[in-house]
Structures are given as structure tokens and as C-alpha cells.
Amino acid sequence: MGVSDQKEATASKEKPLKHVLLAGIYSQPRSGYELTKWMQVAGQHCWSVEHSSVYPALRELEKDELIKSERLPGTRGPERSIYSITAAGLEKLTAWVANGSPRPAIKDEQLLRVLCFDLLPREVALAQIRSVRADHQAQLEFFLERQSVLTEHQPGPLLVTRRGVLAEQAYIAWCDEVEEMIARRPD
């Protein structure tokens, strides 16, 4: 078994969501709702999760004494649980970060569609890739705006956002190539 295979086997035994939540709590104590929002902003291009998965994972983390909660008044309503990381949680998070990750699985349905673009009339394929490009352009603008307010005093969020910028720029460049090739195709 190679090093990459060992990392994948180890990573598959762990629940990544728990580590994502520990990372979000490490940066600042948050409620479950705030953690979901944090994941939507800070990690939207690298991690997605259903809000309903957050609370069961938080309960497990608290049961394992990796986080603790405190009931505090809500900003617009009833009390809410605010979670903070414990020393054991910090140790667990540090070990996870130090371990590295397996190569990510890529699931991009648009790539599969482009694989079969020869089935579509040229104008239909062009309309689709232009729509995809527009979505990625909007995402790029979001990341650029976020990047503009981050500093090197926030290296984690800055580096993750920077990766989002580069990924969106690359996807846009690819869309442009697809559009150019499809536009040259005889219909």
C-alpha cells in the first residue's frame, strides 16, 4: 500500500465534517447556525454540508470532549449554544492538519456534459457554456471581494480564498476555450 493509499484509508475512517467544524470553532466560538454560514462563505469551493448534519456532529464532538458549549442569549431571539474548542479538540485538529489529505475526488457534472457536447447543436452548447462561465465569473467576483478584505494576519482564510480565486480563474479560462472551439465547429 502506497503513501497516498494509506492517507486515503486513514482519511476515510474519519468523518471530515467533524474536522471542518473543529476548524470553524478554532477560528472563533460559534453557534451551529454560524458554523453553517461560515462554511458557506469560507469554504464554499472546497466543502459543502447540509445544515441538518451540523448539529449531530456537534453533539458527537461535545460527547467526545473535543468542544464545549455555553448557552448565551441570541442576537435576535432565544438562547443559543455557542461552541468553543477544548484542549483535546485543539490537539485532534492539529493532528488532523499535520496528517495531510488524500487527493480530492472531483465530481463536476459540467465536464461530463462537455464530453458529449457534439450531441448538441452549436448554439445550444454555446449558450450552456456561456451560462456556466457567467456563474463562475460571479463566484470569482465574490472571492475577489472577500480577498480584498483579508490580510496576512488571517493566513488561513486568505489562502483558502486565494485558492478559490485561482480555481475560478482557471474554470473561466477553460470555458473560454470551450466556447472558442464550439464556435469554430461547423453546425
User: Do the beta carbons of residue 147 and residue 161 sit within 8 Å?
Assistant: yes
Side chain identity, residue 157: P
| Cα torsion through 49, 54, 58, 64, rounded to 10 | -50
Distance CA 44, CA 40 (A): 5
DSSP E strands in the chain: the ranges are 67-72, 80-85
- The average pLDDT across 156-162 equals 89
Q: Between 2 and 107, whose confidence is greater?
A: 107
CATH of 3-99, picked from 3.40.190.10, 1.10.10.10, 3.40.50.720, 1.10.260.30, is 1.10.10.10
Give the residue among 64, 70, 57 at the shortest CA–CA distance from 30. Answer: 70
Domain spans of the chain? 3-99, 109-184
Distance CA 53, CA 18 (A): 10
Distance CA 41, CA 72 (A): 24
Place of cell 458554523: 35
pLDDT above 90: percentage of residues in the chain: 47
Using pLDDT thresholds of 50, 70 and 90, give the confidence band for residue 44: low
Alpha-carbon distances, residue 38 vs 20, 29, 73, 93, 156 (angstroms): 10, 11, 20, 17, 13
Give the residue among 19, 32, 125, 37 at the shortest CA–CA distance from 72. Answer: 32
pLDDT of residue 13: 56
Counts for the chain of helices (H) and strands (E), in that order: 8, 2
Give the residue among 183, 86, 78, 50 at the shortest CA–CA distance from 125. Answer: 183
Residues 6+ apart with CB under 8 A from 134: none
The model's pTM: 0.68
| pLDDT one-digit tens code per residue, 52-96 | 888 999 999 999 999 999 988 767 778 889 999 999 999 999 998
